[in-house]
Amino acid sequence: MYLSIQNEAIFVADSHYNEKNKEFLLFLKKIESKEILCSQLFLMGDMIDFISGESRYFIKQNYQVIELLNKLSKDIQIVYLEGNHDYNLKSIFPNINVIKRENQPLLAKLENNQTISLSHGDNFINWKYDLYCKIIRNTFFLQFMNLIDINFFISKKIENTLVNKNICHKMNNFKQIVEKRIKNYNTDIVIEGHYHQGDIYNINNKKYVNIPSLCCQKEYVKIKDLEFEKVNLCTLF
């Protein structure tokens, strides 16, 4: 079963929203005010610097984004592909189509019947990383962390570490990484986030689209007449 991707659909990735990176909230407010028009909204993961459905502290810290996404989800279709910084989200976003890591790629089609695989981009790594992902997403583990998170000292330490982390780097070998990753997909087009590069390649009759990082490149991608167009958020202010 393929999800139909409409003209004017928007893809946004890796905004890593926190007290320093505010682009995602500004972007959502532009959608709310109709300054940015979109038929569908695809969130490609790592939209918030850290959040899970069990994390009381981070839910409170990100309430503005959570409330606005839930409001927008009543008017437009939103698909949220969980990343490695945001997971177990269904309880937070009841009206949003949340796609867990283990259910990615999500299969979709354009209006011309070209098939698309949508993934955050941290799948197909190795079994060790898969095991790590299962552990950190385990509800019992996260609830236990809540119990020992006295005065949110663990959460605040995580928050401080993430806020001060430099996540914007140019990967000189990114095309070689893409050439390996694209072999895992069986569709005409592959769309991923995660890597913060914003590059588009045509490799072995497949198109690969890496959605730019909203906090690094300040860009998102819109489908316009079957073409992938990058839009710079800064030009909208």
Q: Cα angle vertex 71, ends 65, 73, to 5°?
A: 100
Examine the pLDDT at 236 and tell me if it is beyond 70: no
- C-alpha to C-alpha distance for 111 and 225, rounded to whole angstroms: 9
Dist CA 135 CA 127 (whole Å): 12
Mean pLDDT across the chain: 94
The residues spanned by each domain of the chain are 3-236
- Would you state the pLDDT for residue 4? 95
Q: What is the pLDDT of residue 136?
A: 86
What fold, for 3-236?
Purple Acid Phosphatase; chain A, domain 2 (3.60.21)
Residue in this structure with the two tokens 């690969």, named with its chain if needed: 208
Segment 6-20 shows an average pLDDT of: 95
Q: Are strands 97-99 and 77-81 parallel, antiparallel or unpaired?
A: parallel
Q: Which sign does the torsion angle of CA 129, 135, 137, 142 carry? A: negative
* 83 confidence band (pLDDT: 50, 70, 90): very high
Q: How far apart are alpha carbons 55 and 74 in whole angstroms?
A: 24
* pLDDT tens-digit readout, 133-160: 898 899 889 888 888 988 999 999 999 9
User: Tokens 């984004």 identify what position?
Assistant: 65
Q: Which of 62-76, 162-176, 221-235 is the most confident on average?
A: 62-76
Q: Is 39 left (phi over 0), alpha (psi -120 to 50) or beta?
A: alpha
Q: Mean pLDDT across the stretch 203-230?
A: 95
Statement: residue 237 has pLDDT above 80: no
How large is the average pLDDT for residues 209-235?
93
Region 183-195: mean pLDDT is 96
At 150 the pLDDT is 87
Mean pLDDT of 55-75: 96
Name every residue whose Cβ is closer than 8 Å to that of residue 136 and which is 6 or more positions away in sequence.
Answer: 87, 142
Does the pLDDT at position 216 exceed 70? yes
pLDDT at res. 1: 81
